[in-house]
Amino acid sequence: MSRYADRTEVSSDRSRTEIEKTLRRYRATAFAYGWDAAAATVMFEIAHRRVLFRLPMPNRNDREFTHTPSRGYRRSEASIDEAYEQGVRQRWRALALVIKAKLEAVEAGITTVEQEFLAHIVMPDGRTVGEHTLPRIAEAYETGRMLALLPGGER
């Protein structure tokens, strides 16, 4: 199965600008982004909530970039760079699509900001709701026991 936008020519910069324009259109009140070798970070505020997306970047040394898909031949450094950049562009296009779709669902009254972005809402301690709850969900499924999702709650 192919990935969404796996052949896109839209640059990462243009996708990021599109995300920022989309956020303005849907009344976000702040926007920031940054990056390191492992991930890009997009953060915004909307409806009095701070939302954080960490966009994992591909590893340039992965075989999907260093070798051809059909015969498995090693690519030239220029071809590796081109394939890697394509992977980066694809991820940015996918993030732009996700954010736009979530905001349109909110605008249409299908859902709320909290429902759409729940896992990505930043809590006062700087961690997202997802970072707080995902380990507890995994433990509940592993043990078959429902754990309190909030400190001090009943088990």
Helical segments of 26-154, H only? 63-66, 77-107, 113-117, 129-143
Residues 72 and 145 in one domain: no
pLDDT tens readout for residues 123-142: 999 999 999 999 988 988 99
Residues 21 and 96 in one domain: yes
Sign of the C-alpha dihedral computed for residues 36, 39, 45 and 48 taken in this order: negative
18 domain residue, yes or no: yes
Q: Which residues are CB-contacts of 3 (< 8 A; sequence separation ≥ 6)?
A: 90, 94
Residues 31 and 68 in one domain: yes
Residues 136 and 149 in one domain: yes
Residues 71 and 98 in one domain: yes
Contact 31, 23 (CB under 8 A): yes
108 domain residue, yes or no: yes
The values of phi and psi at residue 120, to 5°, are -105, 0
Counted domains in the chain: 2
Residue type, 79: S
Per the structure block, which two tokens stand in for 111?
A: 């859902």
Say if residue 61's pLDDT is above 60.
yes
Domain holding 129, by residue range, is: 123-155
1 domain residue, yes or no: no
6 domain residue, yes or no: no
Residues 113 and 128 in one domain: no
Q: Read off the pLDDT of each residue in 77-105 and give the average, rounded to a whole number.
A: 97
64 domain residue, yes or no: yes
pLDDT tens readout for residues 14-48: 999 999 999 999 999 999 999 998 999 999 999 99
- Distances from the Cα of 26 to the Cαs of 23, 89, 95, in angstroms? 5, 24, 16
Residues 103 and 155 in one domain: no
Per the structure block, which two tokens stand in for 9?
A: 């020519």
Residues 39 and 110 in one domain: yes
Q: What percent of the chain has pLDDT over 90?
A: 86
Residues 128 and 112 in one domain: no
76 domain residue, yes or no: yes
**What is the pLDDT, as a whole number, of residue 153?**
60
CA-closest candidate to residue 16, choices 96, 78, 77: 96
Residues 142 and 116 in one domain: no
4 domain residue, yes or no: no
Residues 113 and 44 in one domain: yes
